[in-house]
Each structure stands twice: as C-alpha cells, then as structure tokens.
Structure 1
Amino acid sequence: MTTQTNPPTNTASTATTPSDTSRRMDAPRNTNASHSGASKGAEDFSLRFAPRHYRKWTPAVVAGSALGGIAYLADFSIGATIGVQHGTINAIGGILIAAVLIFISSFPLAYYAARYNVDMDLISRGSGLGYMGSILTNLIFVSFTFILFATEGAIMAQGLKAGFGLPLWAGYLVSSLMIIPLVIYGMKFLAKLQSWTNPLWLVMMILPMAYLVIKEPQSVNTFLSYTGENHSPVSFAAMVLAAGVCLSLTAQIAENIDYLRFMPPKTPENSRAWWTAVIMGGPGWVILGAIKQIIGVFLAVYIIATLNQSTSLAIEPVNQFLSLYSEMMPGWLALALAVFLIVVSQIKINVTNAYCGSLAWTNIYSRTMKKYPGRVVFVVVNVGISLALMEFNMFQVLGFVLSFYSNFAIAWIFTVAADIVFNKYLLKLSPMAPEFRRGMLHNVNPVGVVSVLASGTISVAIFFGVCGDAIAPFSPLFAAAIAVIVTPLMAIATKGEYYLRRSHDGIDIPMYDEHGNPNHETLICAVSGEEVERPDMIASAKPGPDGETQYVSSLALTLDRSGEHVLPSDKEPYSRS
C-alpha cells in the first residue's frame, strides 16, 4: 500500500485553454455498472451542474423563460390586499421597500447561477450551508412553490367558476392535474411555453390598463388619495407591514435560478447580452413584480371607489380583470378574455412552481435516502400538496400565510447572499466558486445553518408579538438584518474551517476555461459509464482494476450508499492499494 499526498489546491481562478481533445478517457468505462440514477439524472439535470452541451439557448431565451414564470396573478391580489388594509401611499411604499431589498439580495445569487450553471440548492451548499445542511433551505423553497401553486390554482378555479360555473373544488382539481403533463419534459418544453405566451400575456395585461387611465384620468387621483378601509395615515410602520407581505416573494429568485442555470458561457462577444439577461431574468423580476402589485392596488381602488363593489371582490384577480375588460367591451367578451388571461397566467407560473418544487424535493430525497425515483414523482407530490391547500381554502388567509412565511424566505436568501458578498468577496473566508459535490464539503456548515435558524426563528417570534405589537410589523427587516450580520460573524468565529472538507478534487484538468466558464471537457464516470463534464466530476477514493484513478459524477456520488467512492478529508491520509 502506498500513500499519496493531496494534490495542490485547484482554485476557482484557474484559467487555461482546454486541450484540443474534446474529452478525456482516463477512466475505464464500467459497462456492467448500474445506471440507477445516471440515466435518470440526465432528466433535465435536476440534481447537478447543467453541462454546456445541454445549454443551447441564447441569453434572451433563458431570461424570457425566467421572466415568464412571474406571470402569476398573486401579485395583483397581494397589492390589492395591502392597499385595502393600509391605503395607497403606504402600500406603494411597502412595495418599493420590498423591491429594493429583493433586488439587492437576488443579484449575487443570479450571477452565481448563470456564471457557474448551478441551481439555488447547489449554490446554498457551498455558500454557508454544507452538503446536507442545505436540505433546510430546500424545505423552505418547496414550501414557497406549493404555497404559490395553491394560490394561483385557487385564482384559476375562481376564473373557471366565473366563466363556466365549475364548482371550486372541481376547479382546484382541474388547475392542478393539467399542470403535471406540461412539466414532465423540463426546460426544453418550458422555454418554448414561456416564449410563446409572454407577448400575449403582456398585451392582455397592459393595454386594458392604458385604456382605463386614458378614459378615466380621474381614477388616478382617486387611487392616490385612497387611505384604505381603516383610513390609515401615512406611516413607516404601515409601509413595513405591507413590505412584509411582498417580501414573502423573496424566494422567487430561486425559481428564476432554475432557468438561469442554463445560461450559455459568458464570452467577450456576448458579454453585454449575457449581463442584460442575467439582470433582467434574475433580480429584474422584482421590477415587473412591483409594477403588478401597484396595478393590483389601482384595480382594487377602482373597483371599490368607482364601481362600488365589496373589498372581498376587489382583491380577487378574476374580478379585477373582468371589471377592467367590461369597461372596454361587451360582457360576454370581457368574461371570455378574463378567464383566458387567468388560465394562461396560471399555466405559466404553475408549470414553474411544479418544476422547481420537483427539483427541490428530488434534492432532499436523494441526499437523505440515496435513491432517485425520478423528478416526475415529485411533480406529483408537489401538486398533491398544493391541491390539499386549495381545498382547505388557503386563499382566504393569503396575507397572513405570506407574512409568516416571508421570515423564513428572507432568512435563507439573505444568508446565502451575505455569504457571497461578505464571506467570499470581502473576508475571503468562503471559497469563491460554489462547491457542491459530496466529499468536497462538510455535511453541515454552522455559518449558514446558524444564520438561517437564528434569523428565521427570531423574526417569527417578533412576527407573533414576542417583542410587542409595535415591533411585530418589522419582523421581515429583522430577518434580513440578522442574516446579514450573523453570516459574516459566524464565518469569522469558525475561521471558515467548515466550508471545504477537501481543497482538491483529485482531477488535474482545470475546472475553468480561459474566460472563467466551467470547463466542457468530459470524463467517464466509473459507476454509470456516462461521459460527464469536468465540473460535475470528482476523483474516486476507489482505484480501478489496475490501480488507476477512477472518476465519478456528482450524481453517482450522491447515490453511493457505501461511501466507498468518497474521498477522505484533507485531515485524513489519502491511500491507494
């Protein structure tokens, strides 16, 4: 038995030109190996790095697909709800506060996803949470996907009831089951769906609003002077309370990232288009989201003050657009177009909710159980949970649910963003590249885990009035502040020792090309026999038949129950027979 010392560190800054050969065949092909997971793992790369050969879309198409996922109508309902409660000025102030915080926290995450072609779970692993610790954030994320799915499904059911007289329970069922077959084919289908429907959706939303403002300009003054049901005075506390509801959508960036990970490599030739797509498809979603929320406030005020309808109808997107269209056209056509808009919007967002939720569930299950039953199984699971929430009429308590949930979403997103900005770029305690592979990371990193738990639990306690009713509205701001403060403090306290378990992955091929993009050279996975791109591979602790180095993909390593392929830590001797 010989002992081999660890190779020198292979850092993220390595930039060399790939060799002329398009792939390496150093590892033997294991033709008899089980493909339990490898072939399934190619199912839209739900557990792993998105390889270059799969990323054939232009930056504009990727950004358009990401933005297509924010077609949800919950924004209109959220805006209307906070407008009715707090008045127009307070609602707009809250919307803008939330938009600024979401944009700031989303930007570093969107950049990392597009630059390194990894999803939010993989980013979280190497940005403070650890290999198993990020399961905590996956649970937060799946909660977001089925809460939003249930909200949108309920809105569609309201539309089907208004248009066809379908009972709500049946509408919930239809709005859920119709999504499943659309999500099965992953990004290849979703990119086409979003691209085809985006222009139509924008026209149907914007033109009626422009018509109403031109036809009834006095509606703008009525809108600006509205003080809500309780005639609330303008106050910062009311704005923050309104912002708390809007901040529940902080986790939307994780859904956008599930598209942004398919961005093409950034080169000098496409740099402007690449950055435009990352900004618009990433943090830029909140600009459109804020506009939709303000429109929601406007429509609610118009319905209450001009049409003399009840506040309960004013916060329903179905009635909002039906009332809007009725000012332009005959009632039958207005109803048809309103229902059509509701259905298109619900499909656009809920295919994203179901898709992203299935990715998160897959990550949770595969790491804990060392099995991969396929992403489609978890599409059904996520849709089933959402359907149950609809049947329990969650829509009626939407404001409370979102305000409560926002504390956890903010804790997660701001923790990871703080790790990237402070711990990576300023303190240099966190590795610059988002490491995600088993064996390279510690299972749990106290930096992110402590930050998320502290931020989430303290802010929720504040939300429920532990520190007094006067402080309760500020719980989202406390969540953000605690995460931003605790994350770098924990990194300093632990000296960054819990980020990397190993400093080198045992592969001598550079990780990145001359432009800093993930290298597209391939290696053969000793477990599955598939060709896998360099960033998704790691050396195996188990040598080949002739003592040669073998390589395994991140997915094969995730499903390795025995752990025989997991490399030892830097503190352990690296030995081969």
Structure 2
Amino acid sequence: MSLALELYFQIPLAYAHVVSAVIVVPLVTFGITTISRMQLWTQPVWLLLLIAPYIAVARAEPEALLTLETYFWIAGSGQGFDWLLFGSAATVACSMVAQIGEQVDFLRFLPDQTEQNKWRWWGAMLAAGPGWVVFGVVRQLLGALLAHLAIRHGIPAEHAHEPTQMYLVAYNELFEDPKWALAATTLFVVLSQLKINVTNAYAGSLAWSNFFSRLTHSHPGRVVWLLFNVLIALLLMEFGVFGALEKVLGLFSNMSIAWISTVAAELMINKPLGLSPKEIEFKRAYLSDLNPVGMVSTFVASLVSILAYVGLFGEWPKAFSALIALGLAFALVPALAWFSQGKHYLARDRDERNRYARNTCSICENEFEHDDVAYCPAYGGSICSLCCTLDARCWIAARSGFVSTTIWSGWPKLPCPSF
C-alpha cells in the first residue's frame, strides 16, 4: 500500500507508511459492523480490478501464458526439475498457510445452519475455510506470471515481486494512457491492502486487549490496543521489514507450519482416536495452565525446522525445512497425548452447574449463552469472560472447587484462569 502511494503521489516511502497506518485507524475504530460493510461494498470493484489485468495480458501478450505452460511441463516431466529449488519455494509458500488459516475468522459471520440454507452454508464454509487453499495456489501462480511479465518489461528482478510493479505492467496492457494504468494500479493495491489491514488491525486489537486485560486486570478499551497494534506495524515497516521479506517469510513459515500442523494433528488424529476430549474447549476456566501436547510439539517442530532452514543439517533439510516442521508436529502430537494420557486438557468438569441455555453473569448481571460463561465458585454462579478476566479473586477457587476468605486475603494477584 505504501509503495503504491509512493509511486502515485511521489512522496517519500516513510511518509507513505504513516498515511497507510493512519487510514486504517478510523475504519477499525467503529468496529466489525463498519468493517463488514466496507468489505461488502468494495468487493465488486475489487474483483473487477483483480481480474481485468489478467484478461488484458491474455489478449495482448498470449505468449506470456507459455511461461505457466513451461512450468507445468517441467514439473510434470521432471526434465530440468530441481528438487532443491522446489523445496526452497515450498518453504516460502508455506508461510501463506497461517494467512489462509486466518480466513476462518470470516466464518464467524455465517448464520446458523438450517434446512433452507444448508447447501449455501456448506458451500460458504468450504470456500472460506479449507477451500481457500485453492485460491492461494491460483494467486501464487498468477503472481509468478505477473512477476515474469514485469521482468520481461525491464523491471529489475529485485522489484519485480512488488505488487505495484507487477500490476502496473499488467494495467499498461489494458490502458493506452500510462496515467490511467498508474491510477488503476494504485486503486487496486490500496483497496486490497485496506481490506486486509482493517481485518488484521481489528483482530490484533482484540488479541492485545485479551492479553493485557488478563495480565493487568484492566480494560482501557479496544481502541487503545488498536493504536498500539497499528504503531507496531508502522515501526516494522519504517525499520525496513519489507526489505527482509524473503528471510522473514522463511523463518515465519517454519513456525507457522509447526503451529498449524499441531492444531491439525490434534483435530485429525487425537480427537478421532480418543487421545483428547471429543469437544473443543476454549474457555480458560476449564483449561490447564500448560498443555505439553501442543506447546512441546510446536516448539520442537519450530526449533528443528528453523535449524534446518539456516543450514545446520545440510542443503536438503534446508530446502525442505517446512515439511520437516509438518512431519515432526504430526508425529509428536499423538505421541505426547498418548504419553500424558490426556491429563492436561481439562482442569475441571465443565458441565458442573451452569447448565442452562442462557445464564446471567453474577457480576455485570448481563445474560449470556451457555458457551460464553463459566461457573465461578468464588461467586457461586456464572461469570462472563470480561468480568472473569478483570477479577483475580477466583484463581484458587476455580481450580480447587472451594472458596476461602483466608486464601483470598493472602494469595497474590495472579492472572485469572477463566477464558
């Protein structure tokens, strides 16, 4: 987004970073309703700007499509195919796995499944969930095509991967006037980044809010953490993280693959085999402080794959470091769950009391659904996530099942266990 602003308005990149950060703040301040409307209203324009340049390239330079055909022929025939280059490319491509997984955030807006919307519900779930991998593959292939096209048109190789340069070359095939091509490129890149950044900024503000409210037992408001999150992003860009993107993505891919593979192994192996509870519990009140199954698996898979990525074990493990992370995670998760006998998943019975479909919070007295509250022995009733996070008194009571005034008066203010 900053590169597009720099290219169109001819301003220094450092100032463009500031503009990019400032634009996001007011949109996210108004919450998810405004973000949803912005995503909906801009979708037709974004799709048009996304597809149009590829149609123009296919019509004006059909020989450019031979590049993709050549890649497919090399991969299919094996002639001239370099496994080391393939592994290295796969490691960088795996950095997209976490971003594809983040698309599941949008599934929270799915309506309840009914007989009337059953087919549309499943279609939306598959398309926005696991099906997003297909879109990711197509996007990478078309991006490679545009990068190749940019190099053919004289763009230096070190800048050919920049979206502004790739789409500027493509839009020049669509518009005779270079000014219109530049304007369309800028609009597309800015719109794309806004659609991404508002969602990331909103999710980040919630994550920081949850983290610090649990740590400090105070809640100054989500907007404070929105500004904090945007400031971190701005500093990273000003310090030149984009210049080290390939190395950053390489390291990130190993950690993200280890993390996502650990989650996948838990869902695909442990739960069907009964190595962990069948239901997914997310409320902190019922979870153990530390679960070695996920933590150890993610840490070991990340560490070994990163050591392979930096070349400690030779060229072949370096090229396939992401696949090493995947394999280790899938091996460690069921092994650790079997060894620990699933003892670290739940701290107490989650069905104890608090069994109504809707329950009233003992502190704020607001009504919540069953999944959004936990039973708190300290208050002898239900407690919502925010009240539980801001109150530190039930640390011992929630885990031991009893309340003691003596314990309350002498026990340090530790983080609340619930949610």
The answer to whether residue 307 in structure 2 is matched with residue 471 in structure 1 is no
Report the CA distance between 1:245 and its aligned residue: 0.9
How many residues are aligned here? Answer: 398
Aligned counterparts of 1:508 and 1:170: Cα–Cα separation in 2: 53
Q: 2:377–2:394: 8 Å Cα contact kept in structure 1? A: no
Q: What's the secondary structure of 1:289's corresponding residue? A: helix
In the alignment, what sits opposite 2:386?
555
Letter in 2 for 1:298: L
Measure, in 2, the Cα distance between the counterparts of 1:290 and 1:186. Answer: 31
Describe the shift of the 1:184–1:432 C-alpha distance in structure 2 as closer, same or farther (beyond 3 A).
farther
The 1:222/1:275 distance shift into structure 2, 3 A limit, reads closer
Measured against aligned partners, the alpha-carbon deviations of 1:410-447 in whole angstroms (never above 9, x if no partner) come to 1111111111111112x212222221223311111111
Structure 1: how far apart are the matches of 2:112 and 2:233? Answer: 36
Q: Which of 150, 154, 158 pairs up with 1:303? A: 150
Residue 247 of structure 1: how far off its partner (Å): 1.0
Asked whether the 8 Å contact 2:374–2:382 carries over to 1, the reply is: yes
Does residue 421 of structure 1 match 2:268?
yes
Instruction: After TM superposition, list the pairs within 5 Å mapping 1:90-489 onto structure 2.
Output: 156-225=1-70, 233-305=80-152, 307-329=153-175, 330-425=177-272, 427-489=273-335
Alignment check: 8 A CA contact 2:354 2:370 kept: no
In the alignment, which of 525, 532, 535 is matched to residue 361 of structure 2? 525
TM-score normalized with structure 1 length: 0.65
Deviating more after overlay: 403-412 vs 354-363: 354-363
8 Å CA contact retained: 1:505, 1:538 = no
Contact 1:418 1:484 in 2 (8 A): yes
- TM-score of the pair, normalised by structure 2: 0.89
Q: How big is each residue's C-alpha offset from its partner over 1:490-518, in whole Å with a ceiling of 9 and x where there is no partner? A: 100000011111123433536xxxxxxxx
The corresponding residue for 2:412 is none
8 Å CA contact 1:541, 1:564 repeated in 2: no
- Given that 1:366 and 1:559 are in contact with CA atoms closer than 8 Å, whether structure 2 keeps it comes out as yes
Cα drift, residue 269 of structure 1: 3.3
Structure 1 residue 399: deviation in Å?
A: 1.1
Tell me whether 429-438 or 382-391 shows the greater mean CA deviation: 429-438
State the SS of the aligned residue for 1:470.
Answer: helix
Q: Is the 8 A contact 1:440 1:505 kept in 2?
A: no
Q: Which runs of 5+ in 2 are unaligned?
A: 406-419
Structure 1 residue 222: deviation in Å? 4.1
1:437 partner letter: K
**Quick one: distance in 2 between partners of 1:468 and 1:459?**
12
In the TM superposition, what whole-angstrom CA distance separates every residue of 1:365-393 from its partner, at most 9, and x where no partner exists? Answer: 22232332222222111211111111122
Asked whether the equivalents of residues 150 and 166 of structure 2 are also in contact (C-alpha less than 8 Å), the reply is yes
Closer, same or farther: CA 341–389 of 1 in aligned 2, 3 Å: same
Specify every segment of 5 or more residues in structure 1 that has no aligned partner in the other structure, as ranges: 1-155, 511-520, 544-548
**Which letter maps to 1:559?**
L
Q: 1:496 aligns with which of 318, 327, 342?
A: 342
Query: 1:477 aligns to what SS in structure 2?
Result: helix
Deviations 1:60-111 (A, max 9, x none): xxxxxxxxxxxxxxxxxxxxxxxxxxxxxxxxxxxxxxxxxxxxxxxxxxxx
Q: Secondary structure at the match of 1:539?
A: strand
Shift of 1:404: 0.8
Q: Spell out, residue by residue over 1:276-296, the C-alpha distance to the aligned partner (whole angstroms, 9 max, x if none).
A: 111111122222222221111
Using the TM superposition, give the Cα deviation of residue 333 of structure 1 relative to its aligned residue in structure 2, in angstroms: 0.9
- Taking the aligned partners of 1:269 and 1:495, their CA distance within structure 2 comes to 43
RMSD value, Cα: 2.2
Change in CA separation of 1:254 and 1:358 when aligned onto 2, cut-off 3 Å = farther
Cα 1:559–1:575, aligned 2, differ >3 Å: closer, same or farther? Answer: closer
Cα deviations by residue, 1:323-353 (Å, 9 ceiling, x for unpaired): 1111221111111111111111111111112
| Greater fraction of residues in helix | 2
Partner of 1:3: none
Distance 1:293 1:574, change over 3 A: same
Q: Given the superposition, is the C-alpha separation of residues 257 and 221 from structure 1 closer, same or farther in structure 2, using an over 3 Å criterion?
A: closer
1:268 aligns to what SS in structure 2? coil
* Residue 352 (structure 2) aligns with: 506
- Indicate if the aligned counterparts of 1:370 and 1:561 stay in contact, CA closer than 8 A: yes
1:550 maps to a residue whose letter is G
Which protein has greater RCO, CA pairs closer than 8 Å, 6+ apart?
1
Structure 2 CA distance, aligned partners of 1:313 and 1:438?
A: 46
**Percent identity of equivalent pairs:** 37
Aligned to 2:411: none
